[in-house]
Amino acid sequence: MSNSTAAYGALKDRFDRLAALQGAQAVLHWDRATMMPEGGARARAEQQAALSLIAHETLTAPEVSDLLASADATASELAEWDRANLAEMRRVHAHATATPADLVTRLSRQKSATEMIWRKARAANDYASLAPALDQLIELVREQAAAKAEAFGLDPYDALLDGYDPGRRAAEIDGLFAELEGFLPGLMQEVMEQQDAGPGALALEGPFPVALQEWLGREVMGFLGFDFAHGRLDVSHHPFTGGVPEDSRITTRYDETDFTRSLMAVIHETGHSLYERGLPEEWRGQPVGRARGMTIHESQSLLFEMQAGRSAAFISFLAPRLKAAFGGEGPAWEPDNLLRHYRKVGPSLIRVDADEVTYPLHVILRYRLERAMIAGTLRAADLPAAWNEGMKTLLGIVPPDDANGCMQDIHWPSGSFGYFPTYTLGALAAAQLFAAAKGAHPGLEDALAEGDFSPLVRWVREHVHGRGSRLTPDGILLAATEEPLGTAAFRRHIQARYLS
């Protein structure tokens, strides 16, 4: 065995260990969000900080640079997947070494502390109690952004963005978001006028017991292909998917007056889980076997929730099951009325409940605000006013309080800056992917009308999931759809669904 071959083998062993550490962190995070008693917060914060430091030291130890240099020397002799894996090792290592070890620990502790404060503050509509901790967290994130910016020769926000969506830059996002902002307000108005001219949605009479909603969610997860031998469904303050590919942890939240939101959140998170489960099994634990950034990840959740889950075909299949589950009677439970509920367009306060026409405007607002926070031109104390002004400008509404305004999302209190734009980039990608999948399988919507998602799952397993991180995010999309990321497919989708 040559020195370079041995070096690459040693790197693979190290990244396997790193993946195990990160998997443990993911399960601890899930437990903190779902099961952990409030009194365990301080101990859990220390546990997660310790694991973050161990993972950081595993990745940034001096010998890793030597191993990478040795493996690079004969990289051309490696097979294609191994070369891609080595390139990803270098990328991950570069991000890690750009952040000092002491900052990793400080960030982990502050993220845990701020998130726990956020939970109480949002419930009490008490932004003043959150602002000081959020300010401290923003300063640490800015410190990390500056360190990465210097290491990579990037703008600080671009350096953060690269961690969520490799290769993506704010300049590209600015162009795409300008296009969306150019046509979405007018399109929204046109759709609303058409909907107002037609029959309104008949009320769905509740209550809808949580136990029945949970049962229904599990049934729908089964239609999508979720494997309960490798995952579970629980409750948290904010829906998310965590765990590891072999042990997928999905969460949602319930409202006994409205089952529609929780059900679509479950479909959304199942899309994330299916992506993780579909990643190449032979590369588990290696960088090339991981999900390819959050634009692709969000494209998978939105592919299943928005494109397929709200299709007329699937709602026609779902309608009698909803009616039976909740004991519904009359025309309110017919597919056409359920479609009116799931496709109602109009300005709303809460991002996760927004329709697909207005949703990008919510994301554009967050993108602008977090860029200002990272640039240092917006402090936490001034966030509510900036938020309310942005909502008024983009959506024409102003939140009545901060719980329904700037405190509604967990992302900033958990330190996730640079994540938000990927939601809308993912929506653009999902529209392209669904169009390509339907082109490849003309009977796809007929299958959805039978509750059969397997043709769609097989297609994305081949064209997205199975590629892991061997290609760039745009490379995956281009190979799957023969188009670069853009707004055209999304615009066609909106026009066809709401105005045809």
**Pair of tokens at residue 5:** 């071959």
Distance, in Å, from the CA atom of 75 to the CA atom of 93, rounded to the nearest integer, reads: 17
Specify which residues 255 forms β-bridges with. none
Alpha helices in 35-77 (DSSP H): 41-60, 62-73
Q: Which two tokens stand for residue 446?
A: 């007929």
Separation between Cα atoms, residue 498 and residue 491, nearest integer Å: 11
- Nearest Cα residue to 410 out of 147, 32, 146: 32
Q: In what helix (H) or strand (E) does residue 278 lie, and over which residues does it extend?
A: helix 259-278
Angle of CA points 154, 71, 161, to nearest 5°: 20
Q: What residues contact residue 321 under an 8 Å CB cut-off, 6+ apart?
A: 216, 219
Q: Which of 115, 269, 305, 370 is catalytic?
A: 269
The secondary structure of residue 240, as a DSSP letter, is -
Containing H/E element for 232?
strand 231-235
**DSSP-assigned letters across all residues of 339-382:** HHHHT-----S-GGG--TTTHHHHHHHHHHHHHHHHHTSS-GGG
Residue 455's φ and ψ, nearest 5 degrees, are -60, -40
Cβ atoms of 420 and 363 closer than 8 Å? yes
Our answer to whether residue 269 is catalytic in this structure is: yes
60, 33 contact by CB (below 8 A): no
The sign of the torsion formed by the CA atoms of 372, 376, 380, 384 equals negative
The token duo for 236 is: 């948290």
Contact 127, 114 (CB under 8 A): no
Active site residues per annotation: 269
